[in-house]
Homo-oligomer: A and B are copies of this chain.
Amino acid sequence: MTKSKTSANSNDGEGRIRKENMKKILQAAEKVFAANGFRGATTADIADEAGLPKANIHYYFGTKAKLYRTVIDDIVELWLSSFREISEDDDPASTLADYIRAKMELSQNRPEASRVFANELIRGAPRIKPYLSGDLKEWVDHKASIIDKWIEQGKIAPVDSRKLIFHIWAMTQTWADFEVQWSCILGNENGLQQSDYENATNAIITTVLRTCGLLPTPPRVTDIELPITTQL
């Protein structure tokens, strides 16, 4: 009735404390799960990383398994939502290049998310198989069908569309998952530089566009369709 003083001087939401702490915990959890996998991560580590007592983690999330589940679900949502819709009328070259850039930005800005996911996959995806066979499969099927249409329309060279998608993922995610390997080999033990990501992005775009016959590169090239010739 009486206009309560605040309740939200800037409407930053009900349960302010709750929201803030859950966020802190989720960020810490992503980091620790990325670095140790589900079994290797400890709630004590997560609590330390979040700067909260361990009991607090359980107050908000119940069990380690539920916390992990939340982290994974957030990542999946990020994954699926962060790429624009595409259609068969889009320009293949710029669409593919944009997609590769977006994935590389994720690798650079959210490497831990990528690693949590990688950990889960390496273990055989015990807790996300349904998602792989469901939403993710649908997503890939849909994108692949568009690529196939591009091929039919003679817009790009014949390629195995699903494998093209897989290999784009492999090349982009490797820069997050195995960052340490690439930085060591490039002679930078302290991590990759901005320029490394830029070069890598360009290299991947080049590879994918050449694969699709979209870059007038090595020897000159024009746009014709021809039978898929793969064997050496």
Contacts and interface: CB of A to CB of B under 8 A. Distances in A.
A150 to B, nearest CB: 12
Interface stretch (A12-20, A22-30, A56-64, A209-217): A209-217
Interface string A218-232: 111111101001111
Given A205-B230, A222-B219, A180 B213 contact: no
Interface in A178-232: 178, 180-182, 184-187, 189, 199-200, 202-224, 226, 229-232
Contact of A129 (B163, B171, B187, B189): B189
Chain A interface, DSSP helix/strand/loop, else mixed: helix
A173 B205 CA distance: 20
- Shortest 8 CB-CB distances between A and B: which pairs? A213-B218, A39-B40, A157-B218, A132-B184, A170-B174, A163-B203, A40-B40, A202-B230
